[in-house]
A and B are shown apart, each in its own frame.
Chain A
Amino acid sequence: MEFRTYLRHFDYALLAAVAVLVAYGSLIIYSATHSDPNLPSPFYYVKVQLAAASIGTVLMAVLAFMDFRGLRNYRQHIFFGIIGLILLVFIVGAEAKGSTRWIPLGFFNLQPSEIAKVGMIVVLAAYLSERGRGELESQTTLTTLGIAAIPALLVFIQPDFGTALVLAAVTMALLFLYGTRWLHFGVIIAAITGSLVMIIEVLPLIGIQILKPYQIDRLLVFLHPEHDPSGSGYHLLQSKIAIGSGMMAGKGLYQGTQTQLNFLPEHHTDFVFSVLGEELGFIGITILMALYVLVIWRGLRIAIISESLFGSLIAGGVVSMLLFQVFVNIGMTIGIMPITGIPLPFVSYGGSSMVANLLAIGLLESVHVRSRLAGDRRYRRAQTTA
């Protein structure tokens, strides 16, 4: 197939939205970090972020040009590769803030849990798309949950509660798109709620600590911000002050006192949204939201026009992964979601997350290109028969 045909069938609206998001994010990261005196250069974080985006773009292009349907044959490799990488973290992982999530590669710290999010979309989509719909539904549901549970539990132990949550959300979304019965959803949701209550409230009472205490604090602090045993409430308050004080137009780029004077914690990673809110205000936030809406709309459109269930599930999985992360991250900064350390896609500083999200866009593009090519074929068939 001709290279130019591929290029013609790209979803450029999606690409543009992602490119603007990356640029927008880099600007915010620059504002948040440029005055840090410990940096070798004011552009340090921006450079790293853009380098990761470049790597991600190359991988995205490769994926986009590949036929995603071929991935179905590699689902086991992908699955075991993910498990292997996560296990590797436990052996050679680098620890930061009480949790071990990274594999140091010298020039770059790889965070396998980020890769796992995208990989598991492919694995689960591949499995589900091969199951006959409407038959042996319980078995399908349970198997899907079983496959998803393994990496989810592994990242949960690291502990990386946020990624585990994303995996759970993506699994649910895929089951939903696949057409799982409502009854199954009811049971699953009840089971998840039940185990959360057990983990957070009941088991600690009898001395079993599955989550580390700081995690429970962070999870619950948004419910009681004034109860602040480990400073999480302080972070949340500072984030709300930053966003709230941005008002309509913001204080101006590089002018946010909460950001520039370090009242805002983690301001280039988890709380990058608060920087945006403070410096660029409601208008800046609305622009960001519009970009995400564009990405999600294009993603859902791709899920609908896909020629195959596999493609639809991949697209739906990617969309739900992005949507969930955006909602939980922003929700965390404004105090309606627990503090779980989920990054803001394309915007938060972090190479692994950037690469993984761009890979996901690559998947979307691949699905898009395939469906458009199929559309071309139908068109040609119609022409010849006419």
Chain B
Amino acid sequence: MGSLLSSKPRKKNDRQLPSIALRAGILGGMAVLLFAVLIFRIWFLQILSGDQYVAMAEDNRTRFIVEEAPRGIIYDRNKVPLVDNRAGLAVTVFPPALKDPQQELTELSKIIQVPYEEIQKQLDLHKEDTYSSVVVKKDITPEMKSYLIERIPLYFPGVDIKKFPLREYPGATEAAHLLGHVGQIDEKELAEPRYVGYKAGDEIGKDGVEFQFDKYLKGIDGGREVEVDAAGRPKSDIKNIKSQPGNNVVLSVDSNIQKSTEAALNWGIDLAHQKNYPANGGAAIVMNPQTGEVLAMASMPTYDPKVWVGGMSDSAYQQLTQEGSGDPLLNRAMSGQYPPGSTFKVVTAIAGLQEGIISQLTDFTCTGVWDVLSQPFKCWGTHGDVDLKKAIVMSCDTYFYNVGYRFYKANSLGMQNWSRTLGLGKETGIDLPGEAVGRIPDPDWKARTGETDIDKMWMPGNSVNFSIGQGDILLTPLQLASVYSTIANGGRMVTPHVGLRVEDQVTGKTAASLEPQDAMQLPISSDNLHAIQDGLAGATASGTTVGDTWVGFNTPVSGKTGTAQVTGKSDYAWYAAYAPSNNPQYVVVVLIEQGGGGGSVAAPTARKVLEGIYPQPSATPAGG
């Protein structure tokens, strides 16, 4: 190499050659060209597209941190909080500040234990909004928080932690079905007219009261517009908009009665288990028959609404809904439909009296079997001569078979019509979502749904079965509570409801009334109603279908048992009651699925429920 470097020149030529000037000139020309290219490009960036880059620079440095408004508190009628808020923490992601989104989000996914796809889905939901950070995980643990806080500046630019109000349930599972839960609005919901003005990521009521009164409970989100650095650290506030908390909702529910009713229902289910019935679920309702105010609504099995707080995992949801879970999410009190059995006989009686099929004095003879049709219909006992009152007191099937058969022969749909007049086969109009309508079978319905020609025909046996609340008839415990309210209050149809009023969360003043319009008086003669009330009052005496259930109870109770038979299943136990008999303030309906006899299981449960309202000196009901 050295020899190459020092290679001797052939000719000493240290003199300026003219062509150097030319070549230097060409070099200068190239320089001019290169500078022209640079200046042209910079002109394009700064002058022609400057506005666009100014906007991008603004996008870079400003970020909106939404401050979620806490939802309103849900109170019982005595202002005991049933659903409250607590300060939680949420992890947010601001996509434009992510340096290496895939790698960062994969790491983050492990820390916050949310699947990567789930995080990506959240970010996709907010694609349009490049200005706000997106919540990807709510309700993180303090450990997660301290772990993340340390690592965010170095490893997670664009990730942040912020305060996030979360629902809290002071009563744990109390009234879970009625209260409902909140969750993030999904794409389908966003498109509904109900949710105009809502934005992706909003927490909304998904069920129960939370859903029904969402527009009151939901506040107005605020937020901070902040200047951030490249790592996503806020440097200064640009503007700050306070969030406005949602309004509080006061319910008609009485927390004490709700608790004792739930305890009573569980007690009743246990009782049925002791009697070797499957008793896989049940419902109980306490309602004011004069106003329709629901004081308690219980459904078992239940669930802990806490599982929804901060978002529920798929596996947790599966656990609640899979086969064999017992359907804990179903509110059996208003969304479950069952044959009512003998509790329905009051409807048959009203229809018979009002349509002139029978009078209060009409009597039939019960021999234990009613065999007018080719197929014999059994009564649960042998009652001899039976008039209306005795028929209700003793729950004589034969009496009602005769009534049903008379309707059939008269070619009358009086039973069905009165069922509908009393609110069956349609929604009661309660201010809760997901109400089932039940089913009032009639010839039309059979013709529509029957599979075979025989099935399509309305047979005399159909009318006979219908009269005792068997066959194809279905109703919800809430509908039955509504029927018994009408009987108890003298023929007025009240709308069951749980909402009383909306209160401003700041001032506490009433912002809106939630009570329904006035009740409608039904065209039932008071004489006929009194006859039925008499029967129900007598049906709680010792020696009736309830046995000694009400012995020693310090308040007069009227009530009716029901034991509905379902093919292939154990009997469904019903009891519908009101108290005090002379001035009814409470209607109680109890249903225990596959719980056995209405008198032996449901009635004692109803007593337990009423014991929560009328404390008894020695509260030991006899299971009859």
* Interface residue ranges, A against B (CB under 8 Å): 75-76, 79, 123, 127, 129-133, 135-136, 143, 146-147, 150, 173, 176-177, 179, 231, 234, 238, 240-248, 257-258, 261-263, 277-278, 281-282, 285-286, 289, 292-293, 296-297, 300, 303-304, 306-310, 312, 316, 319-320, 323, 327, 330-331, 334-336
Cβ-closest chain B residue relative to A129 = B14
Answer whether residue B110 sits at the interface, using C-beta atoms and an 8 A cutoff: no
**Do most interface residues of chain B lie in helix, strand or loop, or is the interface mixed?**
helix
Residues in B neighbouring A277, C-beta threshold 8 A: 42, 45-46
Query: Are A147 and B24 in touch, CB under 8 angstroms?
Result: no
Query: Are A261 and B24 in touch, CB under 8 angstroms?
Result: no
Given contacts A245-B50, A245-B54, A310-B14, contact A262 B231 (CB under 8 A): yes
Cβ-closest chain B residue relative to A179 = B19
Query: Are A334 and B42 in touch, CB under 8 angstroms?
Result: yes
Could you give, for residues 11-35 of chain B, a 1 whenever the CB lies within 8 Å of some chain A CB and a 0 otherwise? Answer: 1011111011101111110110011
Query: Are A330 and B24 in touch, CB under 8 angstroms?
Result: no
Residues in B neighbouring A282, C-beta threshold 8 A: 42-43, 46-47
Cα A135 to Cα B12 in complex, Å, equals: 13
CB of A319, distance to nearest CB on chain B (Å):
7
Query: Are B24 and A304 in touch, CB under 8 angstroms?
Result: yes
Residues in B neighbouring A336, C-beta threshold 8 A: 37, 41
Cα A68 to Cα B353 in complex, Å, equals: 129
Cα A252 to Cα B9 in complex, Å, equals: 57
Residues in A neighbouring B14, C-beta threshold 8 A: 129, 308-310
CB<8 Å pairs between A and B, sample of 26: A76-B5, A130-B8, A131-B9, A132-B11, A135-B10, A176-B23, A179-B19, A243-B45, A244-B45, A244-B52, A244-B54, A246-B50, A247-B46, A261-B229, A277-B45, A278-B57, A282-B46, A300-B25, A303-B20, A303-B24, A308-B14, A309-B16, A316-B24, A319-B31, A323-B31, A334-B42
CB of B533, distance to nearest CB on chain A (Å):
79
Answer whether residue B206 sits at the interface, using C-beta atoms and an 8 A cutoff: no
Chain B residues 22 to 78 lying within 8 A of chain A, measured CB to CB, are 23-28, 30-31, 34-35, 37-39, 41-43, 45-47, 49-54, 56-58, 60-61
> Which of B31, B39, B43, B227 meets A296, CB within 8 Å?
B31
Cα A173 to Cα B17 in complex, Å, equals: 17
Interface residues on chain B, size class: 35 or more
Query: Are B56 and A245 in touch, CB under 8 angstroms?
Result: yes
Cβ-closest chain B residue relative to A256 = B57
Answer whether residue B2 sits at the interface, using C-beta atoms and an 8 A cutoff: yes
* Interface residue ranges, B against A (CB under 8 Å): 1-2, 4-11, 13-17, 19-21, 23-28, 30-31, 34-35, 37-39, 41-43, 45-47, 49-54, 56-58, 60-61, 99-100, 227-231, 235
Cβ-closest chain B residue relative to A278 = B57
Query: Are B46 and A262 in touch, CB under 8 angstroms?
Result: no
Query: Are A146 and B20 in touch, CB under 8 angstroms?
Result: no
Residues in B neighbouring A131, C-beta threshold 8 A: 7, 9
Q: Can you list the 3 inter-chain pairs with the closest CB atoms, starting with the nearest? A: A244-B53, A247-B50, A245-B57
Cβ-closest chain B residue relative to A237 = B56
CB of A214, distance to nearest CB on chain B (Å):
13
Residues in B neighbouring A173, C-beta threshold 8 A: 27
Cα A176 to Cα B23 in complex, Å, equals: 7
Cβ-closest chain A residue relative to B57 = A245
The CB with the most chain A CB atoms within 10 A, among B19, B25, B43, B230, is that of B230
Cα A147 to Cα B60 in complex, Å, equals: 48
CB of A337, distance to nearest CB on chain B (Å):
10
Query: Are B227 and A261 in touch, CB under 8 angstroms?
Result: yes
> Which of A127, A262, A296 meets B5, CB within 8 Å?
A127
Cβ-closest chain A residue relative to B49 = A244
Residues in A neighbouring B45, C-beta threshold 8 A: 240, 243-244, 277, 334
